[in-house]
Amino acid sequence: MNLVFVGPPGAGKGTQAEAILKAFPIPQISTGDIIRATISGDGALADECRRYTEKGLLVPDDLVNRMVDRRLQADDCRPGFLLDGYPRTVNQAEALEAMLERRGRALDHVLLLDIVDDLLVERITGRRSDPETGKIYHLKFDPPPAEVVNRLVQREDDTEQVLRRRLTEYHEKTAPLLPFYQERGLLRRIDGTQSMAQVRKQILQVLGG
């Protein structure tokens, strides 16, 4: 089963990806993992990638596409794959479509974890972590006990300013993927406002697991 998982930052894709991997024997593949694996290796592709990352520059689409293409040829991808974080743009989606076609493969589903921005902001900005135990609380949905409140911290990535910036980038660059895959009959909208268990159930129903 060949899958792409899309959705705004903080929607819970990581949690739901774990459930998918338990139900289907396929690897989860993220752009970050691919880049890190490439950099740690040898060869022309690794050297080319390091020229960008060592300068703090974004790796260009053409190079990312080539790394993804190589990763999808690995033996563990024969039963399928779950792409998370790729494609991020229509150009990358077109490249993925072409690389799969060359090998007689195609996507089965594009899962969209659908949730409105304001609810995401409420979910993410309310998170607090306990530096002593590592436990994550939510000020509204999973309140911490009074005795630990004063030592809780908020991650920098969980502030509204950071999240709004990431959401803007998502809507500008990634949201155009939705009509692209809708036209191909691949888009499966998952209601991300449900509980984690309900979201997981809906995903597995779509996938037949």
What is the CATH classification number for the domain harbouring 73? 3.40.50.300
Query: Is 66 assigned a catalytic role?
Result: no
Catalytic residue among 71, 127, 128, 200: 127
- The model's pTM is 0.85
Catalytic residue among 66, 166, 188, 189: 166
Bond into 87 cis (ω within 30): yes
Residue 43 has pLDDT above 90, yes or no: no
Residue whose structure tokens are 């607090």:
128
| Cα distance between residue 50 and residue 66, in whole Å | 14
Query: Is 140 assigned a catalytic role?
Result: no
The closest of 191, 178, 163 to 87, measured between CA atoms, is 178
- Phi and psi for 23 in degrees, rounded to 5? -90, -25
Is 28 a domain residue? Answer: yes
Catalytic residue among 50, 66, 70, 88: 88
Query: Is 88 assigned a catalytic role?
Result: yes
What domain range is 197 assigned to? 2-115+174-207
Q: What torsion do the CA atoms of 38, 162, 61, 112 make, to the nearest 10 degrees?
A: 100
Is 136 a domain residue? Answer: no
pLDDT tens-digit profile of 166-196? Answer: 899 889 988 899 999 999 999 999 999 998 8
